[in-house]
Amino acid sequence: MMYLGAHISIAKGLYKAVQTSMEMGGNTFQFFTRNPRGGSAKKLDEKDILKAQQLMKENDFGPLVAHSPYTYNLASKKTEVREFSLRMLREDFQRVKTMGVPYIVLHPGSHGGQGEEIGLELVVAGLKNVLAEIPAETFLLLEGMAGSGTELGYTMKHLGSLITQCDNHPQLGVCLDSCHLTGAGYDLTRLDELKHDFEKEVGFDRLKAFHLNDSVHSVGSRRDRHAKLGEGELGLDIIKSIIFDEDLSKAVFILETPNDEEGYAREIALIKEWL
Ligand SMILES: [Zn+2]
């Protein structure tokens, strides 16, 4: 069973979001744990959650993916930013647990000029703090980044070393993104090399989600601009090779392409035609 959906809003509740995803042809989706700029979170509505869970069960939905706001930065040089990120993340995990959502995707962080070594150390300290009280059956997914600015986590080595330094915690996973991989310098026409590298540094058992995006910029640009499927540097053949890869397709596929709901529906229909 392949799980495929798009990033959509849960502003009108979880049940409405499940309906929206179904209208697009999806059987999962991604949403922000709270406002992407990191404001306060809406109170959870238990009835809405139960209705949503029932609808997802009836329609064979896969696991949903929550994405944390871009304002979180475990590698910040400012203590208050790091503490804010930790406080919010711990709260987000309680919320997704209540919703029955297993995954929270996190950008590892940006070191802001402190250097990668110090940045990675700060991220490890933050991760350990969150993992110490992570609820059962939830996973923190480190996202592989394009490496723009002072972003960390753009190599398999970074991701692997973060996991190792967190004592290979079983609730740490990874989310890859075809646009970010391209920006970071991984040539997706040579998928075998990338997979070999990933297996060596991280391991496919940790790959839980995959952001399916085309890339405006070419391999190694260190830039992160998503394009619609087939309208970027990757093209449909590469997208297809990801979809049909037996290891990569075990992850939940999420579209984060610059689309409205109709556009997402078209891309989901396109992928389903291939199957
Ligand atoms: Zn992301």
pLDDT in the model for residue 49: 98
95's tokens = 């919320």
User: How many angstroms separate the alpha carbon of residue 69 from the centre of ligand 1?
Assistant: 9
Continuous segment of H or E residues that includes residue 83: helix 79-99
> 256 CA to middle of ligand 1, Å?
9
Q: In which element (H, E) is residue 93 found?
A: helix 79-99
Report the pLDDT value the prediction gives residue 230, as an integer from 0 to 100.
Answer: 97
The range of the structural domain enclosing residue 122 comes to 4-274
Q: How far is the CA of 67 from the centre of ligand 1 (A)?
A: 7
Specify the 3-state DSSP secondary structure of 45. Answer: coil
Buried b (16+ CB within 10 A) or exposed e, 148-164: beebbbbbbebbbbbbe
Q: From ligand 1's centre to the CA of 111, what distance in Å?
A: 17
What distance in Å separates the CA atoms of residue 90 and residue 87, rounded to the nearest whole number? 5
Distance from residue 272's CA to the centre of ligand 1 (Å):
24
pLDDT band at 42 (very low <50, low <70, confident <90, very high): confident
Predicted local confidence at residue 40, as pLDDT: 80
Number of domains in the chain: 1
Strand, helix or coil at 61? coil
Rounded to an integer, what is the distance from CA 189 to the centroid of its chain? 22
pLDDT band for position 163 (cuts 50, 70, 90): very high
Is 80 exceeded by the pLDDT of residue 39? Answer: no
Between CA 83 and CA 72 the distance in angstroms is 9
State the pTM of this model.
0.97
Distance (Å, whole) CA 145 – CA 248: 17
Of 93, 153, 180, nearest to 129 by C-alpha is 93
Q: Band the pLDDT of 36: cuts 50, 70, 90.
A: confident
Cα–ligand 1 centroid distance for 148 (angstroms): 13
| Residue 251 pLDDT exceeds 90 | yes
- Residues that place a CB less than 5 A from ion ligand 1: 143
Alpha carbon of 22 to ligand 1 centroid (Å): 23
156 Cα–ligand 1 center, Å: 16
- Whole-number average pLDDT of the chain: 97
CATH number where 210 lies: 3.20.20.150
Query: What pLDDT is stored for residue 224 in this prediction?
Result: 95
Please report, for residues 155, 176, 180, the alpha-carbon distance to residue 116 in angstroms, rounded to integers and kept in the order given: 12, 20, 18
Distance from the alpha carbon of residue 180 to the mean position of ligand 1, in angstroms:
9
For 50-82, write each residue's pLDDT tens digit.
Answer: 999 999 999 999 999 999 999 999 999 999 999
